[in-house]
Amino acid sequence: MLKGRNLINTDDFSVEEIDEIMALAQDINKSPENFSNSCRGKILGTLFFEPSTRTRLSFESAIHRLGGDCIGFSESQSSSTSKGESLADTIKTVSNYVDVIAMRHPKEGSSNWGSHYSSVPLINSGDGGHQHPTQTLTDMLTIKESKGKFSGLTIGFCGDLKFGRTVHSLTKAMSNYDDNHFVFISPEELQIPEYLKIELDNKKCSYEEAKKLEKVIGQLDILYMTRVQKERFFNEADYIRLKDRYILDNRKLKDAKSDLVILHPLPRVNEIAVEVDDDPRAMYFEQARYGVIARMALILKLLGVE
Ligand code: CP
């Protein structure tokens, strides 16, 4: 039963519950008109203390497409946080005004902490470098629609695997399905966190680490490119040294499978050349569209208004 629950970490929901959300999302994708009044009278609150294009706007689009309304702010400067109000007081107040909250905050653990002050379901929409579970639902829906399955896949993650919260969330989620193999491609300084490797070891998931994309691209079913997360670096010189380490272009794609699915949570900086956008394997803008559908399904489940 997902009604009334929070979504803070990807593993807050069981495999069966995620499959349930995916099935509903696929129904919505087929016949969106059947859901256009499902959230009439419901209000979503978007509390965004950090910049966003896709997550905030796809949440807003999702509630509007369900017939509901949305209120919120897109930067802390336009809220009473700028006058010194605590996060707890903001959440206690806003949960009187809305039926569900989507919150993004730069601090790891802020959504978990904030959820204790909310009287309505709270959805973590990115907490620092920690997790981004609704991006994971988006990524999973894209995988389901393109590959038709969640198991038996070789999934490559490339770029900033240390700070890339979407990588952490998707790795956790896909490690719950059988026979997936993970290939983590990054420079030494941006490797996947140790806690995730321990988790994969405990689940007996197979994975490898690589430094060169060219060497492993041929074995991948899914390639998940990521941006080097400038905002999480303490030292600008390190960012400049690492930012263009991986650039996917048509030349590198020559060795890739013909049915490779190329994903990227976006925004992109330099890590995928614009020429790749015309390749039928490039799914990242379609992935952004699925972000609306996945969030529609999540809102319906948390509000229990199917
Ligand atoms: N993918 C994603 O989280 O994008 P935004 O930062 O634009 O929301």
* CB 54 near ligand 1, within 6 Å: yes
SS3 for 19?
helix
Interval 62-121: pLDDT, tens: 999 999 999 999 998 888 999 999 999 999 999 999 999 999 999 999 999 999 999 999
**Does residue 36 sit in the same domain as residue 123?**
yes
- Domain enclosing residue 117, as ranges: 10-133+290-303
CA–centroid distance, residue 288 to ligand 1 (Å): 9
**Does residue 147 sit in the same domain as residue 112?**
no
CA–centroid distance, residue 3 to ligand 1 (Å): 25
Q: Which residue has the higher pLDDT, 247 or 234?
A: 247
* CB 135 near ligand 1, within 6 Å: yes
Atom of ligand 1 nearest to the CA of 58: 8
The structural domain count of the chain equals: 2
Interval 256-290: pLDDT, tens: 999 999 999 999 999 999 999 999 999 999 999 99
**Does residue 282 sit in the same domain as residue 294?**
no
Q: Measuring CA to CA, which residue among 177, 103, 108 is closest to residue 140? A: 177
CA-proximal residue: ligand 1, atom 1 (nearest): 265
**Does residue 121 sit in the same domain as residue 257?**
no
Residue 198 lies in a domain: yes
CA–centroid distance, residue 32 to ligand 1 (Å): 23
**Does residue 211 sit in the same domain as residue 299?**
no
* CB 111 near ligand 1, within 6 Å: no
Q: In what order do the strands lie in the sheet with 154-158?
A: 206-210, 181-185, 154-158, 222-225, 261-263
SS3 for 53?
coil
Interval 4-28: pLDDT, tens: 999 999 999 999 999 999 999 999 9
* CB 267 near ligand 1, within 6 Å: yes
Round to whole Å and give the CA distance between 226 and 74: 23
**Does residue 204 sit in the same domain as residue 296?**
no
Residue 246 lies in a domain: yes
For 236, residues 6+ apart whose C-beta sits below 8 A from its C-beta are: none
Atom of ligand 1 nearest to the CA of 138: 1
Residue 35 lies in a domain: yes
Global pTM?
0.94
**Does residue 227 sit in the same domain as residue 152?**
yes
